[in-house]
Amino acid sequence: MNQVALIMGSDSDLAIAEKAAKILNKLEIKFEMRVMSAHRTPDKVIEFAKNAKAKNFGVIIAIAGKAAHLAGFIAANTRVPVIGVPVKSQDLGGLDALLATVQMPSGVPVATVAIDGGANAAWLAARILALSNEDLALKLEQEALAMAAEVEAKDLKIKN
């Protein structure tokens, strides 16, 4: 199975990356976690992005705040699907990162999840990988059923 790359623009994004890692571990999806900056280590990011497919990455999750150019910079240098996770900041509450991540030019797509949405980025990565992996598709179906059962149990508890 292809693996997922979890790329952070800074180690200050680690708490968000750990949310994604928890889901990937639960689904038994291999991943690699790295810190690379579109602004401070652009050559390293370019090299990583250009070699991502050859290194068996099926999805790249890019986590960055403020001037969050990481996801777009990676997407410009690879054809592997990229999911951007904007990170909340004290300055603008993450709106700056959200807009920088979501406003991509035509032909350079970045799927974008909510501010600090590391878990949903992992769920989306799993759905992408499950398109070509029946075992993973089955795990996702089982997880969906378990989530539905949790809601039903809560509803039953409230009704009584």
Domains of the chain: 3-133 (3.40.50.1970)
pLDDT for 159 equals 86
Q: Would you say residue 24 has pLDDT above 80? A: yes
The pLDDT confidence band at residue 160, using thresholds 50, 70 and 90, is confident
Give the CA dihedral 143, 2, 52, 60, nearest 10 degrees: 0
Mean pLDDT for 26-35 is 98
The reported pLDDT for the residue numbered 145 is 98
Element (H, E) at 115: none
Q: What is the rounded average pLDDT of the residues 33-45?
A: 97
The structure tokens listed for 88 are 């909340």
- Tokens encoding 105: 């030019």
Q: What is the pLDDT of residues 46-87, one digit of tens each?
A: 999 999 999 999 999 999 999 899 999 999 999 999 999 999
Strand order in the sheet with 82-87: 31-35, 3-8, 57-65, 82-87, 111-112
Q: What is the pLDDT of residue 85?
A: 98
Phi, psi of 59 (to 5 degrees): -150, 145
Mean pLDDT estimate for the chain:
96
Q: How far is the C-alpha of 56 from the C-alpha of 53, rounded, in Å?
A: 5
| Digit-coded pLDDT (tens) for 102-132 | 999 999 999 999 999 999 999 999 999 999 9
Q: Report the percentage of the chain scoring pLDDT > 70.
A: 99
Q: How many CB atoms lie within 10 A of CB 21?
A: 20
- DSSP bridge pairs for 33: 6
pLDDT exceeds cutoff 90 at 91: no
> What predicted TM-score, i.e. pTM, was given to this entire model?
0.96
Place of tokens 């991540």: 101
